[in-house]
């Protein structure tokens, strides 16, 4: 096994988690074995994200931290994969001279040949670019046995002024319709109960004359899959047809992560989001008309260049009114290569920090209040496995994506559906007891 142990460190979102699963699957196909002990690894890969500056700072800290491993084992290969690899390319080698491989997210399928080339020639490699990610077999090593991710599109055609994704992942590439169905059938045949569709703007998917709602309808008929989710949609593509398809389905969950970013139209226009506040509110209204307790989460950015205190207060007010189940709140930070980074009117760092702290405090209060409203009610839970927080507990989620923990019960296993009555709540997790269950 010497020379064939690999370790992957992942930064970022579900898409990056999925890309790491692809890297692991391809490496194991080539005879490598995954290890959790970084010191034992012969290959260490950092799968990176460039969306926020903090991820980059963490990466550089990690890579310098393992420099002694390289001195101890000169044959160790260190690779920077993903969005940072695409964004900075050979510049990474100047800043981190002990790195051997730099590659973008669309070079994942080449990982085996790139490692062989480095070992053969002994010199660093940089591979970036925007190749079609769906021209090769999709090999994925999934750690979870209940939930499976599946990419249906890559890249983004939107050009939000603050976002680096089009630069690091390229323009939108749609996975072919039949290819998606075939892999979904394989996932179902392996016993997975939940399927999450992934894409930078997942609801913008189009292929073979079909749109996202057509794809959802086709996947809803899959035998074996109990629940279907998707992330992350762009509000511009949540059509009435999409909502009607979800309403008429049995497996697609009533859970929507709809990034708002700001509640002020001037700021939205400066962000180049492509919708108005009124359009966004109309989508929310239609969702809640269909499902009063639909799962609703969002992304919000505070302190965007030239954002006034009054405009920030509009965002706070809207968050109070809409009462999202949760919101991912970010302080604006300039990203090199984006239009917003060149804008005048960057707010002082203390002001940006103050605003995001205020927003986070508000959302925490709302999240707890929303959870308390669930106490005393009963929900269908897909059992995902043992809870990490407490021995003897299981964990699962409602259809609208709330986490629920409950005591183990004889005959109830991961993958089963259980009716769980909610007894109380913590700040983020509902606590309940099983009323009944069924084997799926």
pLDDT digits over 231-256, tens only? 999 999 999 999 999 999 999 999 99
DSSP alpha helix (H) spans, 66-211: 67-72, 83-88, 91-95, 111-121, 165-169, 177-189
Calculate the CA 404 to chain-centre distance. Answer: 20
Average pLDDT, the chain: 95
Rounded to an integer, the average pLDDT of 200-229 is 97
Residue (of 324, 205, 213, 212) closest to 261 by Cα position: 324
418 pLDDT above the threshold of 70: yes
Identify the band that residue 3 occupies on the pLDDT scale cut at 50, 70 and 90: low
pLDDT digits 0-9 by tens, 60-110? 889 999 999 999 999 999 999 999 999 999 999 999 999 999 999 999 999
Per-residue pLDDT at 438 = 77
pLDDT digits 0-9 by tens, 330-360? 999 999 899 999 999 999 999 999 999 999 9
Q: How far apart are CA 233 and CA 38, in angstroms?
A: 36
Element (H, E) at 382: strand 378-386
Per-residue pLDDT at 440 = 58
Per-residue pLDDT at 1 = 43
178 pLDDT above the threshold of 50: yes
Q: Is 438 exposed, middle or buried (0-12, 13-18, 19+ CB in 10 A)?
A: exposed
Number of H helices and number of E strands within the chain? Answer: 14, 21
Paired tokens of 130: 């925007």
Counting residues of the chain whose pLDDT is more than 70, the rounded percentage is 99
Per-residue pLDDT at 203 = 98
Calculate the CA 123 to chain-centre distance. Answer: 34
Give the three-class secondary structure for 142: coil
Q: What single DSSP character describes residue 428?
A: S
56 pLDDT above the threshold of 80: no
Identify the band that residue 135 occupies on the pLDDT scale cut at 50, 70 and 90: confident
Of 3-17, 110-124, 397-411, where does mean pLDDT reach its minimum? 3-17
Residue (of 105, 204, 199, 191) closest to 148 by Cα position: 191
| 255-257 sheet: strands from edge to edge | 255-257, 295-302, 326-331
Per-residue pLDDT at 439 = 65
State the pTM of this model: 0.94
Identify the band that residue 367 occupies on the pLDDT scale cut at 50, 70 and 90: very high
Rounded to an integer, the average pLDDT of 44-55 is 84
- Beta carbons within 8 Å of 19's beta carbon, 6+ residues apart: 47, 81, 82, 105, 108
Q: Contact, 197 vs 246, CB < 8 A?
A: no
Residue (of 298, 303, 357, 302) closest to 322 by Cα position: 298
Dump the DSSP string for 79-118: EEEEHHHHHHTTHHHHH-TT--EEE-GGGGGGHHHHHHHH
Paired tokens of 70: 């390289």
């Amino acid at each position: 096994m010497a020379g064939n142990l690999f370790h992957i460190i992942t930064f970022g979102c579900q898409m990056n988690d999925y890309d790491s699963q692809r890297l692991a699957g391809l490496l194991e196909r080539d005879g490598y074995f995954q290890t959790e002990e970084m010191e034992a690894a012969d290959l260490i890969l950092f799968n990176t994200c460039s969306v926020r500056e903090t991820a980059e700072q963490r990466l550089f800290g990690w890579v310098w931290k393992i420099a002694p491993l390289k001195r101890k084992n000169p044959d160790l290969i260190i690779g920077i994969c993903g969005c940072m690899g695409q964004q900075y390319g050979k510049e990474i080698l100047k800043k981190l001279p002990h790195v051997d491989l730099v590659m973008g997210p669309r070079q994942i399928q080449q990982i085996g040949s790139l490692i062989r080339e480095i070992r053969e020639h002994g010199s660093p490699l940089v591979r970036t670019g925007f190749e079609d990610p769906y021209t090769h077999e999709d090999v994925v090593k999934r750690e979870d046995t209940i939930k499976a991710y599946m990419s249906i599109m890559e890249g983004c055609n939107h050009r939000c002024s603050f976002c680096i994704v089009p630069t690091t992942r390229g323009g939108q590439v749609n996975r072919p319709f039949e290819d998606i169905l075939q892999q979904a059938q394989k996932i179902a045949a392996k016993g997975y109960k939940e399927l999450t569709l992934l894409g930078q703007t997942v609801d913008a998917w189009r292929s073979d004359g079909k749109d996202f709602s057509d794809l959802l309808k086709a996947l809803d008929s899959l035998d074996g899959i109990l629940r279907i989710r998707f992330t992350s949609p762009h509000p511009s593509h949540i059509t009435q047809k999409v909502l009607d398809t979800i309403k008429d389905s049995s497996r697609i969950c009533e859970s929507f992560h709809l990034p708002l970013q700001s509640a002020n139209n001037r700021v939205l226009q400066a962000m180049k989001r492509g919708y108005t506040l009124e359009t966004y509110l109309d989508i929310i209204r239609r969702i809640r008309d269909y499902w009063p307790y639909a799962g609703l989460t969002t992304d919000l950015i505070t302190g965007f260049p030239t954002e006034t205190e009054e405009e920030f207060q509009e965002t706070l007010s809207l968050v109070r009114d809409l009462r999202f189940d949760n919101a991912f709140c970010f302080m604006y930070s300039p990203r090199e290569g984006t239009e917003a980074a060149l804008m005048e009117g960057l707010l002082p760092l203390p002001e940006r920090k103050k605003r995001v702290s205020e927003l986070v405090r508000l959302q925490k209060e709302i999240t707890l209040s929303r959870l308390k409203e669930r106490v005393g009610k009963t929900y269908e839970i897909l059992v995902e496995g043992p809870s990490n927080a407490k021995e003897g507990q299981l964990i699962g989620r409602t259809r609208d994506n709330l986490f629920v923990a409950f005591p183990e019960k004889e005959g109830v296993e991961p993958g089963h559906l259980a009716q769980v009555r909610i007894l109380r709540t913590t700040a983020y997790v509902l606590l309940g007891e099983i009323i009944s269950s069924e084997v799926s």
